[in-house]
Amino acid sequence: MKFLALLCLGMVGFAFGAENDMGLSMVISYSIGGAVIGLGIAALGGAIGMGHAAAATISGTARNPGISGKLLGTMFIALALIEAQVIYTLVLALVAVYANPFLPSGAILAM
């Protein structure tokens, strides 16, 4: 833990020693980092949710095979809703990377 703190403090010099571009490179790098981390968390949560939905459907089918059709249809609807949330996160990540709303309007053309 001390090594990580020392490494982060050591990088501060590189961050402040860069050219002064009004902090645009920091905003861009934070936007890309946030997009990658956010998309990773959303994909992880979606995968866990899909796993739980499939496990519950298999368990319900094993207990009562007569309602497997209803359970399967409900599971597909749940999987579609879970995947939609991950796709929404992907769209927001693409907006944060390519059409960054945090940059000044003139800075996009200057890059």
What is the tens place of the pLDDT at every residue in 44-103? 999 999 999 999 999 999 999 999 999 999 999 999 999 999 999 999 988 888 887 777
Classify each residue of 46-78 as buried b or exposed e, where b means 16 or more C-beta atoms within 10 Å of its C-beta. beebbeebeeebeebbeeeeeeeeebeeebeeb
What pLDDT does 82 receive?
94
CA dist., res. 42 & res. 101, Å (int): 21
Q: What is the pLDDT of residue 54?
A: 95
Residue 111 scores a pLDDT above 60: no
Q: Which two tokens stand for residue 102?
A: 């945090």
3-state secondary structure of 33: helix
> pTM of the prediction?
0.68
CATH superfamily of 46-101: F1F0 ATP synthase subunit C (1.20.20.10)
